[in-house]
Structure 1
Amino acid sequence: MPRCNMRVMNVGEAAREAIYTDGITALRGAFSASWADTMREDIETAFAEAKDRPGGAVGRGPKRYYVEIHPEQLRGFVDLVTHPWVTAVCTAVLGPQYEIVELGFDIPFAGAVNQPWHRDFPMPAVTRDEGRLNSLAFNLTGVDTTDDMGPFEIAPGTQFDDSPEFGHEMFPPKPHYARYNELAVRKYPQRGDISARSALTIHRGTANRSELSRPVLVLGVDAPDATNGDKHDMAVTRPYWEALPPEVRDHLRCPVVDKLTPITQKHTIEGLVMGEA
């Protein structure tokens, strides 16, 4: 096997082990800081368009929003989905027929409070019955994260936690919080870093005590048997589709349209609007 292919395989397998063990892994400096600055510009432009449109910016708690966008709204989309680390992780965890199903961003503004501990959707049967993870969430920060900006907090190793007590099958009840608080690790990504995680791993955004927003891009990827794509309406125009590299088209499962329509979100996370947990 050529050495470069062996290296990509090793990178993917190491990431797969980390995701199955801790629920999260990361690559520092995957992109330049200037690339991340351009990404943030695109996020801010998209948020300005979405915030006053019904279903455009969905609340994920006080002063915290989530917005879904189309690939054409992100100038670095092709850079992102063809990055060797991203493709290696997707292939190793989800298989060679993985599907890109979601593109969006979270923004906690000044005054955002602690979210309740949660996972992003109910555990699918294949995870509960077979112990197999069939989706990934990639995150890229638009700022250099500091402790007062409300960092992302995750409880490693909790992606397989399962209890009938979970509200909406996603929210552990407060008696479970002591364990998650003990396991909790805060993440401080810098511009250009990228992480990959199982969105089943219990996590939360923390209180933003700064005067700055902390935008984070989200790329959602499924194995062929996952159904997260049903909750998203990503699309591309025909000229954009035809200009995409074949290796992107092979994994992009979305309609090709004459004109893009702003996305009205189907996927809301119950409970995150309740304020500090």
Structure 2
Amino acid sequence: MAWRHSPWVTARALGLGATAAVVVVSAVRLLRRRPPPRPAAAALPSDIARVATTAEVAAAVRAEGVCVVERVLDAAAVAALRERVAALEPRKRQNRRAKRWEHVHSPEAAAFAELAQHPSIAAAAKALLGPKHYLEKCGLVVSHPGATAQRWHMDTPHLFACREHLPPHSLSVFVPLCDLRPANGPTEFHLASHIKANLVRPPSRAAACCPAGSCVLYDPRVMHRGGANESEGERALVYLTLSRVWYRDTLNP
């Protein structure tokens, strides 16, 4: 409504009493001060790079913050990994959201230490972190049916307050023990958001759908979240965090 006169004059002209006129004037002033709603940033159509060689892994993680290498482990190896991990007692269990649990394991457990030495994973870690790195953390994340999506987050922040984009200090690896499909809530990423300058740009969002036994490799500074599990089965994945020898994650012990 456009007011030709002041709100007070208009309210009194409509026959409103003094109290009602004060209410009208206050409401109009509030509406005038309120900024227009900001349009939601539309997610741009995109996809996570599917790569094969170590050079392609390194290039994709540096540029987009994440990539997928499909079917690194075959079905028999996935089944064996599932059994070995299930037989271990975790150091602790952490509730990451309703119906979403993280089982934190020791990096010295053979099942995880051997997985970190898989040629595809070891070569990618060396290319991105250099020869002096170690398996800092590992575990299992289970998203049960009905789990809601996580909030968007980084696993670890940028380490130094400088404008230059620095190489990664860690590399995160997910190995799903089941097929990751839209229904069971695969991890979603804002591509290239590990670069500070890109955090102010409209997000380019993509979900890491892939077969069981694939590797999802990402820079822990990239914005991501676990999706909502709307399927009837649990979504389980093994994770590894490999870090440069001088780095320790004290925010997520």
Q: TM-score, normalised by structure 1?
A: 0.65
- Name 2:159's counterpart in structure 1: 124
Match of 2:189 in 1: 154
Deviates more, 1:200-209 or 1:125-134: 125-134
Corresponding residue for residue 271 of structure 1: none
Residue in 2 that maps onto 1:62: 98
For residues 13-60 of structure 1, what are the alpha-carbon distances to aligned partners after superposition, in whole Å with 9 as ceiling and x for unaligned?
A: 3222111101012221211112112222334444xx55xxxx821111
Aligned to 1:213: 234
Deviation at residue 122 of structure 1 after TM alignment: 2.0
Determine if contact 1:159/1:200 at 8 Å carries over to the other structure: yes
Distance in 2 of aligned mates of 1:86 and 1:72: 17
User: What SS does the corresponding residue of 2:196 show, helix, strand or coil?
Assistant: coil
Q: How many residues align?
A: 202
Distance 2:168 2:112 in 1: 27
C-alpha contact (below 8 Å) 1:127/1:133 kept by paired residues: no
C-alpha contact (below 8 Å) 2:129/2:243 kept by paired residues: yes
Contact between 1:12 and 1:89, CA under 8 Å: does it hold in 2?
Answer: yes
- Aligned-residue sequence identity (percent) comes to 22
Q: CA deviation at 1:71?
A: 4.5
8 Å contact from structure 1 (residues 58, 65) kept in 2: yes
SS at match of 1:105: strand
Higher mean C-alpha displacement, 121-130 vs 153-162:
121-130
Greater RCO, CA 8 A, separation 6+: 1
Alpha-carbon displacement from aligned partner over 1:140-190 (angstroms, at most 9, x marks no partner): 001112221111111110012379xxxxxxxx9xxx8x933xx11111121
Whether the 8 Å contact between 1:151 and 1:188 is mirrored in structure 2 is yes
Question: SS at 1:179's partner residue?
Answer: coil
TM-score by length of 2: 0.71
* Matches of 1:215 and 1:70, distance apart in 2: 18
Q: Return 5+ residue gaps in structure 2 as ranges.
A: 1-51
Do structure 1's residue 144 and structure 2's residue 186 form an aligned pair? no
Taking a change above 3 Å as real, the CA distance of residues 215 and 126 of structure 1, as seen in their structure-2 partners, is farther
Q: Which residue does 2:139 correspond to in 1?
A: 104
Cα RMSD (Å): 2.7
| Cα distance, 1:211 vs structure 2 | 1.8
Deviation at 1:194, TM superposition (A): 1.1
* 1:42-86 residue CA offsets vs partner (Å, 9 max, x unmatched): 34444xx55xxxx821111111111211246553641x2222221
Aligned equivalent of 2:202: 179
User: What's the counterpart of residue 31 of structure 1?
Assistant: 73
CA distance in 2, matches of 1:127, 1:144: 39
**One-letter amino acid of the structure 2 residue matched with residue 81 of structure 1:** A
The change in CA–CA distance for 1:188 and 1:56 in structure 2 (over 3 A counts) is same
Shift of 1:110: 0.8
Which secondary structure state, in structure 1, belongs to the residue aligned with residue 141 of structure 2? Answer: strand
Partner secondary structure for residue 61 of structure 2:
helix
Provide the C-alpha distance between the structure 1 equivalents of 2:245 and 2:112, rounded to a whole number of angstroms: 25
Tell me the equivalent position of 2:56.
Answer: 14
Distance between the aligned counterparts of 2:103 and 2:162, measured in 1? Answer: 27
Task: Indicate how the Cα distance of structure 1 residues 17 and 113 shifts in structure 2: closer, same or farther if over 3 A, else same.
Answer: same
In the TM superposition, what whole-angstrom CA distance separates every residue of 1:80-106 from its partner, at most 9, and x where no partner exists?
Answer: 222222121111110011111111121
Query: Which secondary structure state, in structure 1, belongs to the residue aligned with residue 97 of structure 2?
Result: coil
- Which entry has the higher C-alpha Rg, 1 or 2? 2
